[in-house]
Amino acid sequence: MNVDNITAPGGFTSGVSDEAYHADPIPGGSLSSTFARLLTDNVPAKAYELRRNRKPTKSMNLGKAAHAHALGAGPLLIVWQHDGRTKDGKAERAEYADMLATEAAVAVSEAERDQIIGMATALRESSIVAKILDESEAEVSGFWQEDGVWCRARYDLLGERAAWDYKTCTDASRRGFSKAMANYGYHQQAEFYRRGLQALGHPAARTPLRFICQEVTAPYLVQIHTPDDLSIEVAKELNDRAIRIYAESMSTGLWAGFDGMHAEPTPLPGYYFFDRDDVLSESWRVPSEEITV
């Protein structure tokens, strides 16, 4: 399928640049997993502006650079040769400013380049991950429709039997991934990407999306994780709601803000009370038992 000629029911295409994908090649617009997660965590008006004014952070740049080197696909990788405070450095950055702004390229320092090379080497030291990399196609874009809404996904690695997403992180352990799911909505991404595979009839839809997580500090540990069934059940409801909100907003052209002004009582988050149990009245305290031996 040619990305310049996408028609229903959609399909998969390779060779779409990061620049073209993030610019959204669907006439009239499409919903990505990233935007669906923004619509989950924010009112539509704020989600719309966050997407429109999206600016890659330093950690995002490092992740994109690691993608480009490890997967052999993605944006152009630029290694700065001069300090940005110098005349040559300012000229160098001005030369690539447009490419960086459109995400056609990602720039790193020489130290970050060495870090990325170390990560790619460590990634392939795992025979399991090396096999996945060798047997999967990198950066495959999928486009499909749900209830008249165009959706899109960018599969880091797509094989015949499974799809994989590569994540850089500070903690690749099970506990670290659990926190990352809560903070970044990876369970939503997993469910969204799988529904794309299902809609387009890809055999990899039979297997849950899996995440190859790699730490960004030496020894660049690698672990593979999959959201559990309850996480996916929650994600499905959140994605269904995001699609409905997106469809209504696109239809009306209105991205709603807060639903009126409210002065209703707002509670503290549950975790707060674990550290403040000593100041709660007896009626609010969690009962405890005295241990005897």
* CA-to-CA separations, 85 to 57, 92, 152, 248, 260, in angstroms, rounded: 20, 11, 39, 47, 48
Least confidently predicted of 99-103, 122-126, 248-252, 268-272 = 99-103
Question: Looking at residue 45, what is its pLDDT?
Answer: 96
Domain assignment present for 69: no
CATH for 40: 3.90.320.10
Domain assignment present for 184: yes
Q: What is the pLDDT of residues 122-154, one digit of tens each?
A: 999 999 999 999 999 999 999 999 989 999 999
Domain assignment present for 292: no
Q: What is the mean pLDDT of residues 29-46?
A: 96
How far apart are alpha carbons 127 and 232 in whole angstroms? 28
* CA-to-CA separations, 35 to 18, 23, 42, 61, 76, in angstroms, rounded: 16, 13, 10, 19, 24
* 8 pLDDT above the threshold of 80: no
- Give residue 97's pLDDT band: very low, low, confident or very high (50, 70, 90): confident
- Give residue 110's pLDDT band: very low, low, confident or very high (50, 70, 90): confident
The larger pLDDT score, comparing residue 284 to residue 256, is at 256
pTM: 0.82
Domain assignment present for 78: no
Domain assignment present for 102: no
Question: Looking at residue 125, what is its pLDDT?
Answer: 94
| Contact status, residue 144 vs residue 200, Cβ threshold 8 Å | yes
| Contact status, residue 211 vs residue 186, Cβ threshold 8 Å | yes
Q: Which domain covers residue 24, as residue numbers?
A: 3-51+109-252
Our count of domains for the chain comes to 1
Alpha helix stretches (DSSP H) within the chain: 18-22, 33-41, 44-52, 58-71, 87-95, 97-101, 110-124, 127-135, 174-184, 186-199, 229-252
Q: Is 94 exposed, middle or buried (0-12, 13-18, 19+ CB in 10 A)?
A: exposed
Q: What is the mean pLDDT of residues 240-259?
A: 95
Least confidently predicted of 12-16, 39-43, 61-65, 214-218 = 61-65
| Contact status, residue 225 vs residue 177, Cβ threshold 8 Å | yes
The larger pLDDT score, comparing residue 106 to residue 248, is at 248
> What φ, ψ does residue 137 adopt, rounded to 5°?
-90, 135
Q: What is the mean pLDDT of residues 261-286?
A: 73
Sign of the alpha-carbon torsion through 230, 207, 23, 117: positive
Domain assignment present for 261: no
Question: Looking at residue 6, what is its pLDDT?
Answer: 57
Least confidently predicted of 4-8, 160-164, 260-264 = 4-8
Domain assignment present for 72: no
* Look-up of token digits 């999206």: 54
Q: What is the pLDDT of residues 175-202, one digit of tens each?
A: 999 999 999 999 999 999 999 999 999 9
Domain assignment present for 70: no
